[in-house]
Amino acid sequence: MSKSIKHILKQELEIKVNGKLWLESEGERFFGPGPLELLEQIEETGSISNAAKAMNMSYKKAWELINHLNAQTNFPIVVPQAGGEKAALPAAKPGCCCNRQGEWQQHGRDVQNHPGRPAQ
């Protein structure tokens, strides 16, 4: 198949590639849309429990995502605090990962939509 798929599609169509981006290590995903939403909910609600409830996720699953994410980073992204309203706070503002996630997804789409062009 040396021909591009472009010869199959109508020329007047505006087509773009879309998808989700996640980070993997040793074949396992550790950061993507789910953990990103969880971090945003933790920042918004101030607790892992409330964040999990807002996402219809079990508290146990939320902790699994947090522990898996923290295991992949140089410093914990979420630091638990004992009791009270603020049961867990991001160690660093989630913006360190969350805001970058949007940039990474856009970069991925740019690369997919313009193959052969150097990534910026």
- In this prediction, residue 61 carries a pLDDT of 95
Is position 82 within any domain?
Answer: yes
CATH number of residue 86's parent domain: 1.10.10.10
d(CA 15, CA 9): 9
**pLDDT tens digits for range 78-120:** 887 766 555 555 555 544 555 555 565 565 566 556 555 544 5
- In this prediction, residue 119 carries a pLDDT of 47
- Across the range 62-85, mean pLDDT stands at 81
* Residue 62 clears pLDDT 90, i.e. is over it: yes
Which residue range forms the structural domain that includes residue 46?
27-96
- In this prediction, residue 2 carries a pLDDT of 61
Is position 87 within any domain?
Answer: yes
The answer, as to whether pTM is greater than 0.75, is no
Is position 9 within any domain?
Answer: no
d(CA 36, CA 14): 30
Is position 41 within any domain?
Answer: yes
**pLDDT tens digits for range 6-51:** 677 777 877 777 777 788 888 888 888 888 899 889 888 888 899 9
Domain count, the chain: 1
10 Å CB burial of residue 117 (0-12, 13-18, 19+) is exposed
